[in-house]
């Protein structure tokens, strides 16, 4: 059922927080998502956040919070979202 979250055409704001496991299926289709907050979540692997962000073509606000003392499975957090530059 959670896979429907990553393919919702009308979702505009998404907040994931508090050590939830972000295990992102491929493909992600969030064409209306304008705001995304990833607050102290744990990623399945290095590609989970990249896959999630790649499906957000109109994202305008991204907030990421990571705890220094918790291993969230990501060493290098890369953000490549052209709409954030507008």
| Per-residue confidence (pLDDT) for residue 3, from 0 to 100 | 61
Question: What pTM does this model have?
Answer: 0.89
Question: Residue ranges of the domains in the chain?
Answer: 2-68
Residue 34 near residue 56 (C-beta atoms within 8 A): no
Beta strands in 1-86 (DSSP E): 13-17, 21-22, 35-39, 42-43, 61-65
25-80 pLDDT, tens per residue? 778 999 999 999 999 999 999 999 999 999 999 999 999 999 887 888 999 898 99
pLDDT at 1 over 50: no
């Amino acid at each position: 059922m959670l896979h429907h979250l990553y393919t919702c055409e009308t979702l505009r704001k998404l907040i994931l927080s508090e050590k939830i496991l972000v295990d992102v299926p491929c493909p992600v289709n969030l064409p209306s998502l304008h705001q995304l907050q990833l607050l102290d979540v744990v990623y399945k692997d290095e590609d989970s956040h990249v896959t999630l962000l790649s499906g957000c073509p109109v994202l305008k606000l991204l907030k990421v919070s990571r705890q220094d003392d918790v291993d969230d499975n990501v060493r290098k957090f890369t953000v490549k979202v052209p709409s954030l530059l507008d």
